[in-house]
């Protein structure tokens, strides 16, 4: 193993092991204290889960359900050890999280010796303030999740499953993991203001980067929400809108912090706040009076009437009703909170206004006249693009060299980065003015790129069967699809959205009922119960199935647009209009196999699987994903298997030889396994259940081609061209 690692990697691993050993030796005399903290976290969370947390989480799950849905929803343990093992795992994680800071504190001597501990001590009040801010933001994220997001989301998921005819019977393991994952995501997402302001203050990430890259932040938020929340527009909006508001607030807070840092020499924050103490106090009192008037002058009933009009079952509680306080004490508490929040907002506004005015404004002039050599690294990154428009490569390298001589590596890096950006803009403008490349020029460029890539490994000797040939072909084909990418993506998106919308609005339930009516008389629909063990199981299946349909519909369009490039590279022959005939032949084969599977194969297989359980008086309960993928494999899967030999014959008519298909069986196997891993349930057994039949069908196709092409001595495409 060690021989497979380079010297730097081995040194890094050795240094890590040495550091870990030194930390253990340094904290050896205090390990008992660390273990006690770990044990408190482990046992405390174990019994908290048992006594309070499970009931609280179940209450949150059922809080927005009607009586019917609440009666149908069940949380079950699949094995006798599910609950206790889950509590032990969560307790273990909680104990480690609590014990790790204590361990780091007691091993600080070893970390100081290796330069891994802050050299300048941080005052305790700053640490306490940072910890309180982090804890407060974490609790705010949890409050939004548990008071708003979770109740609405679980009501939606349970009602969606019930409307399709499925029983929301959640496994306690999957249900708890889902809740805790979202809990962690909300708590960490709420740390965004603290993280952004700290990174900008420490100059790790510039404020201008957060400001200018907000589009990427929006895309990242929606992508994160798509991974960790139900894939429907409503919950996506419930996730994304608070995140966007939080990002905007974080930008403002970061600007305040950076302005305070840059203007700290001109003005004191305390003096700026003291100069406007009357306005800050006034705004605080106004905020408190507004909260007091809301609860005492009819605001609470109006807000609850508005919630009822909007169709929400939630109601705002009266002061003190949710806390062990009297109504007077609760009203006083909420008034104090309103006063504090309004005062903090006013404090931030006036302090920022004073600091912003104290920072000397930059006089606007000709950007090209800026002397880059006089700027520091931050100034180089903040300079306008026009200052680098006429900068030559020699000048940029010379300026970077001067910065390196002055031991300013950050400025040297900033100069080269800004020069590269300006060079990219100049190249883009030049390519926009140049005439469009022909197909032959694109092919030559791709060939040169592939050759250059391969020369690094083969000293100029290329072979179309190695990685260089694959790279050249793929680059050329993808380049030919670039101009049609919008149309392809539009077709894919429309089919995906249409299929998902139909399934989402009850289509999956109608398919389920129709299929149950096809079962033999010895198995009644009441014998089969389909359950959702995971809250998002039904939606995940709908998304995967919709994606699969969209891929099948879009594939002929991709082939149609890629045909000229495939023909240019010698993969196919003939006119691309044959795609329409191909699509018709494949649809006929798919439809024929589907009819056979839906009317005969699937009912026979499922009734055979259910019959023994029914005779033994067992309760038959299948997971949504397993049951519907079984239906898919035994209906549309029959058609797909029939289409494999048909597609191979069609490819042979287009110029793909029998020998090519025979020699490329390994690549085909890898492609099928990758497709099965993405499009089917995430388990190895199902992946092989898809891969093996498809590879058997591929083998049958090879046998058919062997017979038709006389062992590969002739191709159908050549015989067709000869007859023509």
Over residues 166-170, mean pLDDT: 83
Tokens of 393: 């490569």
Task: Please determine, for residue 301, whether its predicted confidence score (pLDDT) is greater than 80.
Answer: yes
Which position has the higher pLDDT, 269 or 370?
370
687, exposed or middle or buried, with CB in 10 Å at 0-12, 13-18, 19+?
Answer: buried
Which position has the higher pLDDT, 216 or 573?
216
Residue in 85, 87, 79, 81 with CA at minimum distance from that of residue 57: 87
Over residues 101-125, mean pLDDT: 75
Tokens of 708: 């038709």
3-state secondary structure of 682: coil
* Band (525; pLDDT cuts 50, 70, 90): low
* Band (721; pLDDT cuts 50, 70, 90): very low
Over residues 215-221, mean pLDDT: 78
CA distance 601 to 105: 66
3-state secondary structure of 297: coil
The secondary element (H helix, E strand) that includes residue 476 is: helix 467-481
Tokens of 458: 């083969």
Sign (positive or negative) of CA dihedral 356, 357, 359, 360: positive
Torsion on CA atoms 535, 539, 543, 546, rounded to nearest 10? 150
Position 655 scores a pLDDT of 74
Task: Please determine, for residue 456, whether its predicted confidence score (pLDDT) is greater than 80.
Answer: no
In the chain the first and final C-alpha atoms are separated, in Å, by 62
Position 438 scores a pLDDT of 41
Over residues 659-675, mean pLDDT: 81
CB 587 within 8 A of CB 642: no
CA distance 579 to 341: 66
CB 702 within 8 A of CB 661: yes
Position 522 scores a pLDDT of 67
Residue in 241, 237, 93, 96 with CA at minimum distance from that of residue 176: 93
Which position has the higher pLDDT, 455 or 428?
428
Per-residue pLDDT of 693-718, as tens digits, reads: 888 888 888 888 888 888 777 766 65
CB 672 within 8 A of CB 694: yes
Which position has the higher pLDDT, 261 or 436?
261
Position 5 scores a pLDDT of 53
DSSP string, 547-576: HHHHHHHHHHHHHHHHHHHHHHTTS--S-T
Over residues 515-544, mean pLDDT: 75
Per-residue pLDDT of 557-609, as tens digits, reads: 888 888 888 777 777 777 777 777 777 887 887 788 888 887 788 777 777 77
Over residues 379-383, mean pLDDT: 76
Q: Rounded to a whole number, what is the largest CA-CA distance in the chain?
A: 98
Residue with tokens 């032949």: 585
Task: Please determine, for residue 155, whether its predicted confidence score (pLDDT) is greater than 50.
Answer: yes
* Band (692; pLDDT cuts 50, 70, 90): confident
Task: Please determine, for residue 463, whether its predicted confidence score (pLDDT) is greater than 50.
Answer: no
Position 448 scores a pLDDT of 39
Among 72-86, 158-172, 490-504, the least confident range:
158-172
Q: What is the DSSP letter of 464?
A: T
CB 93 within 8 A of CB 184: no
Over residues 179-206, mean pLDDT: 81
Taking all residues of the chain, what is their mean pLDDT, rounded to a whole number? Answer: 75
Position 364 scores a pLDDT of 47
CB 170 within 8 A of CB 533: yes
Query: What are the C-alpha distances in Å from 327 to residues 263, 289, 339, 621?
Result: 46, 17, 18, 50
* Band (40; pLDDT cuts 50, 70, 90): very high
Position 39 scores a pLDDT of 92
Q: Which of 2-16, 182-196, 304-318, 487-501 has the highest mean pLDDT?
A: 487-501
3-state secondary structure of 161: helix
Over residues 506-530, mean pLDDT: 73
Position 436 scores a pLDDT of 44
CB 161 within 8 A of CB 542: no
* Band (1; pLDDT cuts 50, 70, 90): very low
Beta-carbon contacts of 115 under 8 Å, excluding residues fewer than 6 positions away, are: none
Please state, for a pLDDT cut of 70, what percent of the chain lies above it: 77
Residue in 251, 79, 76, 247 with CA at minimum distance from that of residue 170: 76
CA distance 512 to 506: 10
DSSP string, 575-614: -TTHHHHHHHHHHHHHHHHHHHIIIIIHHHHHHHHHHHHH
Phi then psi dihedrals of residue 620, to 5 deg? -90, 110
Per-residue pLDDT of 619-663, as tens digits, reads: 677 777 777 777 777 887 787 787 888 888 877 877 778 888 888
Strands of 53-138, DSSP E: 74-76
Tokens of 133: 């801010």
CA distance 140 to 151: 16
Position 341 scores a pLDDT of 82
CA distance 449 to 547: 33
CB 347 within 8 A of CB 282: no
Among 166-170, 546-550, 584-588, 715-719, the least confident range:
715-719
CA distance 247 to 224: 14
Task: Please determine, for residue 209, whether its predicted confidence score (pLDDT) is greater than 70.
Answer: yes
Residue in 627, 642, 631, 634 with CA at minimum distance from that of residue 597: 634
Among 47-56, 483-492, 594-603, 711-720, the least confident range:
711-720
Per-residue pLDDT of 352-363, as tens digits, reads: 666 666 554 444
CA distance 354 to 356: 6
User: Helices marked H in 206-268 — which ranges?
Assistant: 207-212, 214-228, 233-262
Position 228 scores a pLDDT of 59
Phi then psi dihedrals of residue 48, to 5 deg? -65, -40
Over residues 129-136, mean pLDDT: 81
Q: Which of 69-78, 88-97, 133-142, 210-219 has the highest mean pLDDT?
A: 88-97
Which position has the higher pLDDT, 145 or 455?
145
């Amino acid at each position: 193993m060690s021989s497979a690692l380079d010297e730097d990697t081995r040194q890094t691993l050795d240094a890590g092991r040495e550091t870990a050993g030194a930390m253990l030796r340094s904290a050896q005399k205090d390990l008992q204290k660390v273990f006690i903290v770990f044990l408190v976290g482990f046992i405390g969370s174990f019994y908290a889960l048992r006594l309070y947390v499970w009931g609280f989480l179940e209450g949150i799950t059922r809080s927005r359900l009607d009586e019917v849905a609440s009666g149908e929803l069940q949380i079950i343990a699949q094995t006798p050890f599910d609950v206790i093992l889950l509590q032990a795992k969560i307790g273990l994680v909680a104990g480690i999280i609590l014990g790790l800071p204590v361990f780091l504190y007691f091993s600080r001597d070893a970390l100081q010796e290796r330069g891994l501990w802050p050299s300048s001590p941080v005052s305790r009040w700053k640490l306490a303030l940072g910890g309180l801010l982090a804890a407060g933001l974490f609790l705010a994220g949890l409050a939004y999740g548990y008071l708003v997001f979770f109740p609405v989301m679980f009501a939606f998921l349970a009602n969606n499953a019930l409307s399709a005819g499925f029983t929301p019977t959640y496994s306690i393991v999957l249900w708890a993991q889902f809740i805790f994952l979202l809990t962690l995501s909300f708590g960490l997402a709420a740390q965004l203001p603290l993280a952004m302001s700290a990174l900008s203050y420490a100059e790790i990430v510039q404020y201008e980067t957060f400001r200018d890259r907000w589009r990427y932040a929006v895309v990242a938020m929606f992508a994160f929400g798509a991974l960790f929340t139900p894939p429907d527009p409503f919950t996506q909006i419930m996730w994304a809108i608070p995140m966007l508001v939080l990002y905007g607030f974080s930008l403002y807070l970061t600007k305040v912090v950076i302005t305070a840092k840059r203007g700290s020499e001109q003005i004191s924050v305390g003096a700026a706040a003291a100069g406007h103490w009357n306005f800050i106090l006034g705004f605080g009192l106004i905020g408190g009076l507004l909260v007091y008037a809301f609860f005492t002058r009819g605001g609470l009933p109006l807000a609850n009437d508005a919630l009822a009009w909007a169709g929400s079952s939630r109601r705002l509680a009266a002061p003190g009703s949710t806390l062990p306080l009297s109504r007077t004490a609760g009203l006083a508490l909420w008034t104090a909170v309103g006063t504090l929040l309004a005062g903090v907002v006013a404090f931030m506004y006036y302090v920022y206004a004073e600091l912003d005015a104290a920072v000397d404004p930059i006089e606007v002039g000709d950007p090209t006249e800026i002397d880059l050599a006089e700027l520091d690294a931050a100034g180089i990154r903040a300079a306008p693009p026009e200052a680098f428009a006429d900068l030559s490569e020699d000048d940029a390298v010379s300026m970077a060299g001067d910065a390196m001589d002055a031991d300013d590596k950050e400025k040297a890096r900033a100069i080269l980065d800004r020069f590269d950006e300006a060079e990219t803009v100049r190249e883009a403008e030049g390519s926009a003015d140049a005439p469009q490349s022909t197909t032959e020029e694109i092919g030559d460029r791709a060939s040169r790129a592939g050759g250059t890539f391969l020369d690094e490994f083969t000293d100029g000797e290329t072979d179309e069967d190695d990685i260089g040939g694959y790279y050249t072909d793929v680059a050329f084909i993808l380049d030919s699809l670039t101009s049609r990418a919008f149309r392809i993506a539009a077709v894919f998106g429309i089919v995906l959205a249409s299929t998902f919308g139909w399934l989402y609005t009850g289509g999956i339930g109608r398919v389920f009922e129709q299929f149950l009516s096809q079962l033999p008389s010895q198995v009644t629909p009441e014998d089969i119960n389909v359950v959702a063990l995971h809250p998002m199981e039904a939606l995940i299946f709908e998304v995967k199935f919709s994606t699969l349909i969209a891929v099948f519909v879009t594939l002929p369009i991709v082939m149609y647009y890629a045909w000229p490039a495939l023909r240019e590279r010698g993969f196919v022959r003939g006119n691309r209009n044959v795609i329409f005939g191909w699509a018709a032949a494949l649809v006929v084969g798919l439809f024929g196999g589907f009819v056979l599977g839906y009317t005969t194969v699937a009912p026979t297989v499922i009734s055979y699987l259910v019959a023994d359980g029914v005779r033994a008086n067992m309760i038959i309960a299948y997971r949504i994903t397993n049951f519907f993928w079984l239906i898919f494999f035994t209906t549309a899967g029959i058609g797909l298997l029939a289409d494999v030999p048909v597609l191979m014959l069609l490819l042979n008519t287009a110029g793909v030889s029998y020998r090519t298909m025979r020699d490329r069986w390994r690549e085909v196997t890898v492609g099928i396994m990758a497709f099965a891993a993405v499009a089917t349930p995430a388990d190895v057994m199902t992946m092989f259940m898809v891969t093996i039949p498809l590879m058997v069908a591929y083998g049958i196709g090879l046998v058919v081609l062997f017979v038709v092409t006389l062992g590969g001595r002739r191709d159908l495409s050549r015989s067709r061209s000869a007859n023509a």
